[in-house]
A = this chain, B = another copy of it.
Amino acid sequence: MAEKEISQAVISRLPRYFRYLGDLKDRGVERISSQELSELMQVTASQIRQDFNNFGEFGQQGYGYNVDYLYTEIGKLLGLDQKHHLVLIGAGNLGQAIANYVNFERRGFYISGIFDIDRELIGKKVRDIPVYPMEELESFCKERDIDIGVLSIPKTAAEAVADRLVKCGVKAIWNFAHVDLNVPEDVLVENVHLSDSLMKLSYNINRYEALKKQ
């Protein structure tokens, strides 16, 4: 694959392509034209062709794209052929929902341990992954090559736990707490702010109602 810089706009569309190509692959589809993919994904065929051109010669004029090849190459670009080892902090409902998400391993993400302060949860297992007390976080990470921390805890505790994860040497934090984290520049943060998403929905409902009245 060509080693040229790909724009953030293209990158942000890759997971969606990957998702659709995975579904096609599961359905046994071997080839697909940009036109067919366009109808399926509701984006223009020219957008698709432009996006895929970033990765070199994926399709041949008139023959369409090889679904399996494209799926594999986009997966590589997304780093899904790499293995990552995670610790999940917070074994509440959201934490358990995340830990139960079986596609994790298919994407190369392995949850090594779950941590919580709740004595009632410690010692239990979520899909065979044990829940440990928070005091053991540092020693646990020291013994293993943990590169990602997942935060599914209230925002009041998030900053302090993020600091501890950074000291443990994680490269990235997947943050579900409703707060923006202050971490060193070399630690990546990917936020999932559910409340922001809810507000966006609310804005759009409001706006749509106002437009209808016009």
Contacts and interface: CB of A to CB of B under 8 A. Distances in A.
B79 A203 contact: yes
B190 A78 contact: no
A92 to B, nearest CB: 7
Query: How many copies of this chain does one complex carry?
Result: 2
Contact of A101 (B42, B80, B148, B194): B194
Interface residues of A, number: 56
Interface of A: 11-12, 14-16, 18-19, 41-42, 77-80, 82, 84, 92-94, 96-98, 100-101, 103-104, 107-109, 147-148, 171-172, 174, 178, 180, 186, 188, 190, 192-209
Given A79-B205, A79-B206, A200 B97 contact: no
B192 A148 contact: no
Per DSSP, chain A at the interface is helix
A104 B109 CA distance: 31
Contacts of A201: 148, 172, 174, 188, 190
A84 B208 contact: no
Contact of A82 (B104, B197, B206): B206
Indicate the member of A41, A79, A174 with the most B CB atoms within 10 Å. A79
A78 B147 CA distance: 37
